[in-house]
Amino acid sequence: MINLDEDFSELSKEDQITYVIEHLRDLPDELVDLSIDLLVGAGETEYAIALAKDTGRTEKAIEIALEEGDYLWAALIANKAGMEQEATRLYRDGLEYYISMDMYGRAVSVAKALGLPQNEIDLLFQAGIRAESRNMDTVRVRAALESIAFSLEGALAGRDDETAKEIRSAMKEEMENIERRSLEQ
């Protein structure tokens, strides 16, 4: 542990960061605020949030999480601190933010945390699939599916049972869907 008589500021930034991370749980109170700012400045936001939470600086932890766009974590911090109304507000703000950023996986998580009806959660999930599909490289997907189809056909060689027929039919249908979507773009 550093002797506070030794000037913390005399350490290089890198050494300060290393020191803070190594002593996160037992930093002297005089170094906590400085250390939080140091960690945020170095891009070590997870450590900064942990330090802020563990030293009772809940508002600071929430602020850092929000600056990173992590409404889920901010709401969780608020909830654990007994700030239920703030947590609900953060979840609602997060839902808007995640939808606006096409981050539907997180939007679904927020919707579940808010207890939204399943049909609304399903709509978010479907919107996420549509958003991901727009960004999909259909040429690469088609090549991958063709490779899988070739391998499957080899594995199914000589089989004409109902399962083999269903697998062939599903692969054919998916290949047609990929083709149709690539023509639509």
Is the pLDDT at 137 greater than 80, yes or no?
no
Per-residue pLDDT tens digits for 150-179: 777 777 778 888 888 888 888 888 778 777
Count CB-CB contacts under 10 A for residue 146: 13
Taken in order 116, 86, 56, 32, the sign of the CA dihedral is: positive
Q: Does the model's pTM come out above 0.75?
A: no
Most confident of 4-8, 32-36, 126-130, 156-160: 32-36
Point out the least confidently predicted range of 65-74, 113-122, 139-148.
139-148
Q: Region 99-125: what's the mean pLDDT?
A: 93
Query: Helices in the chain by DSSP H: which ranges?
Result: 13-22, 29-41, 45-54, 58-67, 71-80, 84-100, 104-114, 118-134, 138-155, 162-184
13 φ, ψ to 5°? -55, -45
Q: What's the rounded Cα separation, in Å, for the pair 178 and 165? A: 20
Band of pLDDT at residue 41, cut at 50, 70 and 90: very high
Q: Region 85-102: what's the mean pLDDT?
A: 96
